[in-house]
Amino acid sequence: MSGGIDFDPSREWLGIAAVDLGDPFLALGLTGDVSDPAIVTAAAARLLDRLRGIDPGPFKLAHEALVQRIETSRDELLAIIAARIPQVVPPPPPAADAASILGPAAAAPPGPPPLVVPAAMNDCSSAEPPAHAPAEAAEPEVIVVRRAAPLLRPQPSVLPALLSLLALMQVAIAAYLFWPRPAGQRSPRDEPRVAVLPQPPTIDVTDARPPRAVSPVPVPATPSPPAPPSINAEPAPVTPPQPQPRPSPPPPPAAPAPDPRARARAAQLVEDALRAAYDAIRADDFNTANRQVATAARLAAQDDALTERVTCWRQFARYARQAADYRERALDAANRGGEYEVGNKRIAVIESTRERFVYRREGRNVAFTPRSAAPDPVLTAILRTWFAGADKPGNYVFLGTHLLARREPNLRLAAAAWERAREGGEDVSLLVPLLTDAVIRAVATE
């Protein structure tokens, strides 16, 4: 967001004029004879910590540019200090030791003459050496290199292959003999044999003697063995187990209905906290206003509508502090003299300090002590003229905030200022709902 005119962020935040930022020494507040890198690093860290603790508000781009300039100045000074340090070059070695330790190796002493093998030593005869030849022990050993005979690879044996073939044939014959075959392909010898039991002797009925009664002997019943399963019989179908339906989970417990009385109490507490915050803003007591807004945020934590309302108030309290700062700057600038139009009359500022404010109207002087006790229309006219020096949309954001934060808020003028800021591309979505807020409207209609 753009800010008001005559605002130098570097001077206000770091105490450095913007024209001095081009010199890295002046940007870090150091002299040109600094030679300790630790001093440069500490000075840059101190300025960066100060910048990070500042809320830039609408001067976010200027804040980021200052941070980058301080870091660049630190790097430039470190490079300058490093260039000042003389490079230590070791002296050359003495002339006697100038030669490299790893110089060329000395020439090797001449070796023995090449060995000449007499013709008598080339054959394998056992001729004795000549009489004038030196002793055998002193002669060098002669190595004769002969061509090696080609290696004969053993031929693989066929016996393991024959044994494997015989084993396969035996397995095939056994499979043929003992593998079960269908009934149509069985041989007669494969059919089960029927045992013929002897018939009991016949009794001659012509015999006059009655037969002797024979008591029957009970024969225990032998359970018949189960019939062997047929080869061609199809297996009985197996019914897979049916999955049992899972019991449906119980429905989640219903959320308890909000208690209307509890919500009403929370809304009333939020209302009271925001009313106290608004009174503090109109009295330029912004620390108390921030505490009251924080209290309202804790009370509205469980209610979305209340939370959204408190978010708008938090933005309003932050912008009201900056608008008050711009108002004081405009009043300081008015101390240099100037005429301002208030309503249908014009005033001329004679004196404007924190403790005293005097202006002339209709031929007489009007004084206020302190300066903040001056009428709201006079303060608004001076601030509006100061903002008009640079027609930026961000100025109208703070002008509308001032119109709601003064002792006698004006909703109509604040809405017009914010509409002009919105047309210029500024985001005022968190400020516009304040025009219909019950706390502000209750004060504006008093």
Could you read off the pLDDT of 248-296 as tens digits, one per residue?
A: 777 777 656 667 888 889 899 999 999 999 999 999 999 999 999 999 9
d(CA 411, CA 416): 9
State the pLDDT confidence band at 297, using cuts at 50, 70 and 90.
very high
Residues 6+ apart with CB under 8 A from 347: 339, 340, 359, 360, 361, 378, 381
Q: Which residue has the tokens 């020096």?
A: 389
Q: What is the pLDDT of residue 211?
A: 52
Coil/strand/helix, residue 227: coil
Q: Which residue has the tokens 């507040």?
A: 29
pLDDT tens string 8-41: 788 888 888 887 888 888 888 888 788 888 888 8
Least Cα distance to 12 among 49, 63, 46 occurs for 63
Strands 357-361 and 345-352: antiparallel
Beta strands in 330-396 (DSSP E): 339-342, 345-352, 357-361, 364-368
25 in Cβ contact with 32 (< 8 Å): yes
Entry field: residues in the chain: 446
pLDDT tens string 414-426: 999 999 999 999 9
pLDDT tens string 154-199: 555 667 777 777 788 877 777 666 666 555 555 555 554 544 445 5
State the pLDDT confidence band at 245, using cuts at 50, 70 and 90.
confident
426 in Cβ contact with 393 (< 8 Å): yes
Q: What is the pLDDT of residue 81?
A: 83
d(CA 84, CA 35): 8
d(CA 305, CA 346): 46
Q: Which helix (H) or strand (E) holds 293?
A: helix 286-299
**CA of 275: how far to CAs of 103, 170, 376, 440, 443, in Å?**
94, 108, 21, 8, 9
Q: In the structure encoding, which two tokens stand for residue 197, read together?
A: 């039991």
**CA of 346: how far to CAs of 286, 343, 360, 381, 384, in Å?**
32, 8, 9, 10, 14
d(CA 38, CA 47): 14
Mean pLDDT, range 114-122, rounded to an integer = 44
d(CA 405, CA 278): 8
Least Cα distance to 346 among 389, 302, 300, 381 occurs for 381
In 15-59, where does DSSP find H-type helix?
24-27, 37-52
φ/ψ (deg, to 5) at 201? -65, 140
The CB-side HSE value for 23 (13 A sphere, CA atoms) comes to 10
pLDDT tens string 374-400: 999 999 999 999 998 888 899 999 999
d(CA 273, CA 313): 11
Q: With a cut of 70, say whether residue 119 has pLDDT above it.
A: no
